[in-house]
Amino acid sequence: MAWKVGAAIAGLLGLVGVAAGTGGGADPRRAGWRESYRPPAEIPFPGENPYSAAKAELGRRLFFDPILSGDGSRACATCHVPDLAWGDGRARAATRMQGDMDLRTPTLINVAWQDGPMGWDGKFKTLEAVAAMPLTSPTNMNLPMADALARLSADSSYAAAFAAAFDEPAITRDRLEAALATFQRLIVTGTTAFDRWIAGDEAAIAEPAKRGFDLFNGRADCASCHSGWSFTDNSFHDIGVGTGGDIGRGRFKPTSVALRYAFKTPTLREVAQRGPYMHDGSAATLEAVIDLYDRGGIDRPSRSRAIKPLHLSAAERADLLAFLATLSSGGSRDLTTASFAATAPAP
């Protein structure tokens, strides 16, 4: 059973009930849709890697420390930049030689609520499993795992931090991964205008955004994939973007035509701060994203059946953009260990 940080998070996430009232001309389904966007009460942590303040602080230090790169020039935060909504603002992530990687850097916002395979193509089973690949990749941080563990073990302050976080001195790959994942689960979106509206403040967002919400959940059917509080179904879909050797989930499920160009649905939280868009950064703006969905992407057998031309009017496009703008808080945050000082994990 998953362990979770308790009631202190409720205040930080601004939990309140959803008001049923809607504005004039609202889709009659709006109140029901709003119910599905209630914020969670707690940040989930897996039973095999429960939260502790010492582990979270160790993970924070590791995340920002270039000690985990071969030449000391890169850290996790090189690609996952807090001021860039925990991405890097590039179409594709940069290699250490300043070339381009195959995929765009995914945001870490609300990663605690991701489940199932992780990464654009689902190559990672868990959040804990993500760290080793960029750390050891010759094109990324370029540090063999054995060397990383030896470096950390030789550093007396890290030796003490690992001992405090895990109640024993050995620095292992599993503990390195656990500490990084614990910190990353604390990266949570800030409260947005949308959240205030869901909480019952009718003035928090304007009428165009409310119409955009209705369109998002109704005729445009964006919510079939971008669902719930974190705006993702945590699944993989071909939306008509990938081509040629740019293979998504089909890399691991080669007999599945439907998954050949299927990439993971990203969260839409802080989306206005996170361009360019798509797994390959091929859509420079949110207007371009809406245009892609309006066209329906590439028509092919593997394309998701939920993707079809929408024929949106100019007014509908504007309403969708107005709604998407309400999902950004001006900057996500990581909930510091101080936020949890009085909070004990509970099963």
Q: How many distinct helices (H) and strands (E) make up the chain? A: 12, 6
Same domain, residue pair 212 and 303: yes
Same domain, residue pair 140 and 199: no
pTM for the whole structure = 0.88
Which pLDDT belongs to residue 190?
A: 87
Which pLDDT belongs to residue 240?
A: 95
Which pLDDT belongs to residue 347?
A: 31
Structure tokens at 82: 């807090």
Which pLDDT belongs to residue 107?
A: 96
User: CATH number for the domain including 202?
Assistant: 1.10.760.10
Report the sign of the C-alpha dihedral through residues 63, 12, 342, 3, in that order.
Answer: negative
Which pLDDT belongs to residue 22?
A: 37
Parent domain of 70: 44-188+332-340
pLDDT in tens, the chain (347 residues): 444 444 334 444 433 333 333 344 899 999 999 999 999 989 999 999 999 999 999 999 999 999 999 999 999 999 999 999 999 999 999 999 999 999 999 999 999 999 889 999 999 999 999 999 999 999 999 999 999 999 999 999 999 999 999 988 899 999 999 999 999 999 999 899 999 999 999 999 999 999 999 999 999 999 999 999 999 999 999 999 999 989 999 999 999 999 999 999 999 999 999 999 999 999 999 999 999 999 999 999 999 999 999 999 999 999 999 999 999 987 656 654 334 332 333 33
Same domain, residue pair 169 and 201: no
**Assigned domain for 13 exists:** no
Same domain, residue pair 181 and 55: yes
Which pLDDT belongs to residue 102?
A: 92
Which pLDDT belongs to residue 168?
A: 86
DSSP 289-326: HHHHHHHTS---TTS-TT-------HHHHHHHHHHHHT
**Assigned domain for 319 exists:** yes
Same domain, residue pair 81 and 155: yes
Interatomic CA distance for residues 287 and 293, integer angstroms: 10
Which pLDDT belongs to residue 331?
A: 60
For the chain, what is the domain count?
2
Distance set, CA 94 to CA 79, 144, 254, 281 (Å): 8, 19, 28, 12
**Assigned domain for 347 exists:** no
Length in residues, the chain: 347
**Assigned domain for 154 exists:** yes
Quote the Cα angle for 81-178-347, to 5°: 110
Same domain, residue pair 181 and 195: no
The alpha carbon of 128 is separated from its chain's Cα centroid by a whole number of angstroms, namely 15
Same domain, residue pair 184 and 49: yes
Same domain, residue pair 27 and 55: no
**Assigned domain for 91 exists:** yes
